[in-house]
Every structure is written in structure tokens, then in C-alpha cells.
Amino acid sequence: MWIDGRVVGEAPLTMRDLRPGVHQVRVAEEGYAPADLTLEIPEGTSPPPLLFVLAPLHTPTEIFSDPAVTVDGRPIGTTPIEKLTLGPGPHTIRPPFPTAKPAVEGNLVDLDDSVRPPRLIAGERAPYPKEARRLRLQGTVLVEVIVDEKGVPHDARVLQSAGAALDEAVIEAVYKFRYDPATKRGVRVKVRQTYSQTFSP
């Protein structure tokens, strides 16, 4: 953990020694989404407790098959594949196909040139949580969701955190979004979509 650019140790730790004023907090661990947060401690008040929940960016996976395989439509080489790192969420693992497979409604596909991305048609930005506003918390939250063939977001995960309070506000808002779904050759499909929101008092 870093506070105001100085390494102060590992969480959990006390913040009682912080003086009034604006402070920058960063929490990082290899393999997890980092958290960056700015807070202001008013004169005559005690520093608030801060909660950070770091989301894993990857999951170790082992694959054994014959012949070679693809993951989410991308070829990854011959087997056995013992050290493949996958992000949390659903994945499609199958042998490669000799020719392009026709698009199937509801399949999870990569956002490439053959895919028209989803278009947001309903939903609002996350409101600034009252407690976060009182503490003048600042930061940017980046989340990834899977937008299904009906335009509904699922499986939100944090790629960049600004602390649990702001992360939760963004995730709650994103689950209320509705999209005109992505299409591949005219067929509605699932895709991964990112959303970013910055909070500043």
C-alpha cells in the first residue's frame, strides 16, 4: 500500500497518523486490479476506515485435449497447455475449426471487425455515494461486463478500483444498463464490454 507516494506496508493498517488534508492512497497486488483513491480529511476529524476489494485479473488454468484448442475463438496452440491464464467469467474452449464457423445467437465472441459492438440505449451514470462525497473521495473505476444477446449486462468485474464504495456504485449502475446487443453477420451475440467512470467532488 502507498499513501501520498510512500510505501506504508500491507493492509490492514491504521490511518490514524494521517494529518488533515488531501491524501492519495494506492493498493496494488500482482494479478489483481489496482485501487487508486484520493480522500480529504477535514480539520478536527479522524480518518475514515477504507475498504478495498481487489478483483483477480486472471485465473490459472490447465487444458489437455487432442487436437489443439481455441479459447473464446482464439487459437492458443497445441496441447497439453499447462499454464494458461484466463480472466474470471465464462469461456468457450474447443478444438479449432478448419473453416469459419457460422455465427450462433448467444455465442460469446471477440469484438473484432466482424462484430458490430453493443450500443447503450438506457441507463445512467452511477451517482456519487453520499459517504464518498462527504469524504471527498476521488478516483476512476473501470469495469468489464458481458453484454448478452438481449443487451443485458452480466458478470461485472473490476479492472481498476477506486475503493469498495465507488466500485460498488459503478457495478450497481452498470447492471441497470441496457444495450442494443452486438451482432456478428446479423446475428445477436454476447461480447465483453468495458465501462469507466471518474468520481470527483
pLDDT score of 101: 65
User: What are the residues facing 33 on neighbouring strands?
Assistant: none
User: What are the residues facing 63 on neighbouring strands?
Assistant: 81
Which class for 21: exposed (0-12), middle (13-18), buried (19 or more C-beta within 10 A)?
exposed
pLDDT greater at residue 191 or residue 78: 191
pTM: 0.64
**Can you tell me whether residue 93 is helix, strand or coil?**
strand
C-alpha–C-alpha distance, residues 69 and 41, integer Å:
53
Q: What confidence tens digit (pLDDT) does each residue in 139-165 have?
A: 999 999 999 999 999 999 999 999 899
Nearest alpha carbon to residue 183 among 152, 145, 146, 148: 148
Check whether 13 has a pLDDT greater than 70: no
Looking from the CA of 152 toward its CB, the CA atoms found within 13 Å total 3
User: CA angle, corner 112, sides to 108 and 116, nearest 5?
Assistant: 80
